[in-house]
Chain A
Amino acid sequence: MAKKLLKICNLKSKVEDEEILNGINLEVNKGEIHVIMGPNGAGKSTLANVLMGHPEHKIINGEIEFEGENINELAVDKRAKKGIFLSFQYPQEIPGVTVENFLRTAKTAVSGEQQSIFDFKFLLEEKMNLLDIDQSYADRYLNKGFSGGEKKKNEILQMAVLEPKLAILDETDSGLDVDATKTVAEGIKKLASEDNAMIIITHHNQILDYLQPDYVHVLVDGRIAKSGDMELAKAIEKEGYAEYKAEHLDESNSKTNC
């Protein structure tokens, strides 16, 4: 039981009046890598935002448990402090705030310990080397003028520095060329351990070849239509999502006990 990190039960959510998540069940344990695939508009990014606590998304039913605690009502920064991390699909640009300054502040907040300027510099240097990021990025304004690839690398750098227990990577591989995907994937792989877990939201199989996920879930119309392993991802690559559309839904797939 100590390994259990996240448990999602019959989760339903809406934005304004539109219902998007329609009864999600999912369990994630430490040391696992989960992949969520699905067609556009299925609710993948919504799931990521709901897990992170975006105020636009309202939970109308169900429960999110993190380390055995219901976090439905927890504010986003409190979730981050508990060890949840979201790599954004479209990271915000914050002019005037340097990457280093931002990350030191975040690290202080998440770890609850004041970060000495020098020690933190070393830490950041080390993580940047790990991810093959040029040291000059530390002094650049957060995401300002970054290319798509640079933004995604910067998200992974943040993950490396903050060392979350659960990392949700929302389309971290989209918009990246082959080489960049490889660098990012290798970075993620280096960060994966027995003590943390990852939920990877993606469209593409390329990143999965590097990461070797334990579970693959197909998200369609706000529900998980099928769960499986890497073979499922391969099948989808060949055949698409058609057979998982609502009318073909096999209720027996939602087998998590709530």
Chain B
Amino acid sequence: MSEKTEVKDVDRSLHDEKNEEKHRYKAQKGLTPEVIREISREKNEPEWMLEFRLKALKIYQNKEVPTWGADISDLDMDNIITYVRPDADLESDWDQVPEEIKNTFDALGIPEAEKESLAGVGAQYDSEVVYHNLKEELVEQGVIYMDMENAVKEHEEIVREHFMKLITPNDHKFSALHGAVWSGGSFVYVPAGVDVDIPLQSYFRQNAPGSGQFEHTLIILEEGANAHFIEGCSAPKYSVNNLHAGAVELFVNKGAKLRYSTIENWSRNMYNLNTKRALVDEDGVIEWVSGSFGSKVSMLYPMSILKGARARAEFTGVTFAAEGQYLDTGAQVIHAAPNTTSTVNSRSIAKDGGHAYYRGLLKATDNAHGAKASVSCESLMLDNESKSDTLPIMKLQTDDIDIGHEAKVGRISEEAVFYLMSRGISEEEAKAMIVRGFVEPIANELPLEYAVELNNLINLELEGTIG
């Protein structure tokens, strides 16, 4: 028992299949107004969007790269091909999706997921959505689920009213970049009172060396609406550092409830600098379920702004940092109205020199009386090569609140391992069991097939420990 169990690295061959590069168009390297104009012209966008992109580009060029958190000095933005379009037009029928792309998706299990009665698949291949399908009943209810490019044209008014209003190009360098070059992503609109009882899912990935991915997700739930959106990412591995700077804007109106789930498993050379925000009105609910497994560097801090009375936010997240990974993640909650509530539950695991960092913010503004918040962070260290840090910042500007925070770090209890082993379970499996149990609260929040995927990811990560 005093010997440590060697936990082998994940076999990533499943997710590391890559297609021959077969792209009809590649943007020039480097970012200039001309590049932006080209992107916009290709997309046949309205003039205001082009103006918006150009304005964002200017902000991007004047903003400094953030110096806190992860070291991203390896990123050379000028050499990142920001716009790559796959060799397929938008398809609504699976049969017409090109074979190579299908093969990669097959490996990721997307069609299976659909067969199992998932509502729609909007899978982004490189920068644009190539496959799109939405069940007819949802269309009848007035639910809109389409790629962002088409939404800009077909639902111009509502997109213009919301697009990058919650995350603005002024927020930071990468939101400005996103504003300038965004491409692809999903648009979801759920009318008042409509309950979408099957999850909407979008599986996207990037597949060209040096390509950035800047998909934009915009979800609007009208009063009393209810939906669950699942975002999953996986990308094959390349030698050039890849950048992901997407944006997710979620508008949850009065009494609406949105669950946003992500299992992120980018290849281990990816810089994942995603920005996610939700604005929640009276009695509305946002639930984040977040699994961070992949990427070289992640800086990801989903923010919930509770602007209406009694609005609620829940965040459940797991981060698994293995060799060579620096995953800096955490939840941000702003209580900006009376009687708002939030719960943050984060679990992180570090092994083989991986570095897991929880960086959170909890803020209660001066009119957040009656607010209740609890934050719980637990970290598991599997060896002493790894690092685990927890930094939850709390900023309280009123008195009538009830705030609790707890954090813990430690390793697998030897007594617990002995107990399990005394029932005949091997040491390796006992440890794996404890790790799986540790992330169980997150697995519990996921739809079954994603819970299975999460479990598979953990099993892969702990390969060698499963008997």
Contact = CB atoms under 8 A, between A and B. Distances in A.
B429 A109 contact: yes
Contact of B426 (A55, A96, A103, A109): A109
Say whether chain B's binding surface is mostly helix, strand, loop, or mixed.
helix
Q: Which of A55, A81, A141 has the most CB of B within 10 A?
A: A55
A241 interface: no
A105 B433 contact: yes
Contacts of A54: 418
Given A94-B434, A105-B429, A81 B424 contact: yes
17 contacts: A52-B422, A75-B421, A75-B427, A76-B1, A76-B421, A77-B424, A77-B426, A80-B422, A85-B422, A88-B419, A88-B422, A94-B420, A94-B433, A96-B434, A102-B423, A109-B425, A109-B429
Contacts of A97: 433-434, 436-437, 440
Contact of A55 (B2, B419, B434): B2
Interface of B: 1-2, 413-416, 418-427, 429-430, 433-434, 436-441, 467
Nearest 4 A/B pairs, CB to CB: A96-B437, A96-B440, A80-B424, A110-B424
A102 B433 CA distance: 8
Interface size band for A: 20 to 34
A202 interface: no
B377 to A, nearest CB: 15
Q: Which of B420, B421, B423, B430 has the most CB of A within 10 A?
A: B423
B427 to A, nearest CB: 7
Contacts of A175: none
Interface in A80-124: 80-81, 85-86, 88, 91-97, 102-103, 105-106, 109-110
A162 interface: yes
Contact of A106 (B2, B423, B440): B423
Interface of A: 52, 54-55, 75-77, 79-81, 85-86, 88, 91-97, 102-103, 105-106, 109-110, 141-142, 158, 162
A208 B437 CA distance: 37
A85 B419 CA distance: 11
Contact of B425 (A77, A88, A95): A77
A141 B423 contact: no
Contacts of A158: 423
Contacts of B427: 75, 77
Given A97-B433, A97-B436, A97-B440, A106 B424 contact: yes
A76 B422 contact: yes
Given A91-B419, A92-B415, A92-B419, A109 B437 contact: no
Contacts of B430: 77
Nearest to A168: B422
A116 to B, nearest CB: 17
B160 to A, nearest CB: 45
B424 A95 contact: no
A78 to B, nearest CB: 8
A7 B9 CA distance: 44
Contacts of A96: 434, 436-441
Contacts of A103: 423
Nearest to A55: B1
A97 B435 CA distance: 9
A55 B433 CA distance: 20
Contacts of A95: 437-438, 440
